[in-house]
Amino acid sequence: MDKRVCIITGADTGMGREETRALAEAGYHVIMACYAPKLARPVCERLKAETGNPDIEVIGIDLANLASVRSFADTVKSRFHRLERLMNNAGTIETGFHLTVDGLERTVSINYVGPYLLTRLLLPLMGEGCRIVNMSSLVFPWGSLDFPDFFERGRKGSFWRIPIYDNTKLAITLFTFDLARRLQDRGITVNAADPGIVNTNILRMQMWFDPITDLVFRPIIRTPRQGADTAIHLLLDEDKATQTGTFNRSNHIHPVRDKFTRHPQMQQLWDETEKVVRPFLNQTLSPAPPLQGGE
């Protein structure tokens, strides 16, 4: 019997490494989707030894290059007939303005557009009982979406890393809610996880005020394992098997206001993102069912 297959982006460091460890210990064939495969392979070998699971491998992917995302997905689809778990874990907070080869602001590509495209490309491998987990953040309500500025600059106005990060987390959270509704008849669950403030490489102390920020938040900063815990439960726990379209923190569903679950820009975000990724897609997805009730 073939092992169940799981993909984890950014799997070689921080929370991704802990998610890889947990899924490997649970007996999955884990594909570590990593930006720097040469650096990731020694991590992969250590995880094989520590978990006793030889079915862990590294496949390169650059979420800031949509052609790379398509190439990764094509490789996976050529080798596997079913994908049980997809963990969109990788993320960044860029400290300067950088455009990708696709003309996207780099944080937007890595945190949102790349995971969006990867998920869409891998959906043909997923069916009843499969789970998708997107790494979000409790800061998503602070985000805003201005088109086309969101894709091209991250925000309207000058570059500023924090609001751009917030905007990407709003986008990935809205994508979670939207996709969950679109897939509800296929038995595929889609949920978002908030890791809290975690001591990972994403925390870069390169601004003058960062040491002050570090002193303020250090007492509540979580370890990578603690930060990954909510996502791991969403991926593995039996009582999460039918839970979908939720935002989770500290292993519990965190209530989200209707203004976000029924966000007025949700459909626009989907449509605008589809335009961006269209050259790399060969499939369409049914429209989401109409929203019921609400304010």
What mean pLDDT comes out for the span 132-144? 96
Evaluate if residue 208 carries a pLDDT over 80. no
Decide: 256 and 262 in contact? Cβ < 8 Å. Answer: no
CA-based R_g, the chain, Å: 18
Is CATH 3.30.565.60 what the domain over 5-280 is classified as, yes or no? Answer: no
Which candidate, 59, 50, 171, 58, places its Cα nearest to that of 104? 171
Which candidate, 248, 114, 232, 229, places its Cα nearest to that of 171? 114
Query: What pLDDT is attached to residue 202?
Result: 46
For the chain, give the number of residues: 295
pLDDT band (50, 70, 90) for residue 235? very high
3-state secondary structure of 96: coil
Decide: 110 and 65 in contact? Cβ < 8 Å. Answer: no
Phi then psi dihedrals of residue 268, to 5 deg: -65, -40
Sign of CA dihedral 280, 105, 112, 285: negative
The two three-digit tokens of residue 251, written as one number: 């292993």
Residues 6+ apart with CB under 8 A from 279: 66
Active site residue 165: yes
Evaluate if residue 218 carries a pLDDT over 60. no
- Domain boundaries, given as residue ranges, for the chain: 5-280
Residue 89 CA from chain centroid, whole number: 4
Q: List pLDDT tens digits, range 24-61.
A: 999 999 999 999 999 999 999 999 999 999 999 999 99
Q: List pLDDT tens digits, range 241-251.
A: 999 999 999 99
Phi then psi dihedrals of residue 134, to 5 deg: -110, 135
pLDDT band (50, 70, 90) for residue 199? low
Amino acid identity of 196?
G
Evaluate if residue 198 carries a pLDDT over 70. no
DSSP codes of every residue in 39-82: HHHHHHHHHHHHH----EEEEE--TT-HHHHHHHHHHHHHH-S-
Decide: 107 and 137 in contact? Cβ < 8 Å. Answer: no
Least confident of 151-165, 184-198, 214-228: 214-228
Candidate list 28, 35, 112, 165, residue with the active-site label: 165
Query: What pLDDT is attached to residue 290?
Result: 66
Evaluate if residue 212 carries a pLDDT over 70. no
- Looking at the chain, the number of H-run helices and the number of E-run strands are 11, 8
CA distances 215 to 139, 212, 218, 244, Å, are 20, 5, 5, 37
Decide: 66 and 114 in contact? Cβ < 8 Å. Answer: yes
Question: When comparing pLDDT for 197 and 108, which is higher?
Answer: 108
Which candidate, 125, 115, 16, places its Cα nearest to that of 81? 125
Amino acid identity of 99?
L
Evaluate if residue 11 carries a pLDDT over 50. yes
CA distance 127 to 35: 27
Question: When comparing pLDDT for 209 and 227, which is higher?
Answer: 227
Query: What pLDDT is attached to residue 283?
Result: 72
Which candidate, 61, 69, 66, places its Cα nearest to that of 40? 61
Burial class (CB in 10 A: 0-12, 13-18, 19+), 126: buried
Query: What pLDDT is attached to residue 294?
Result: 44
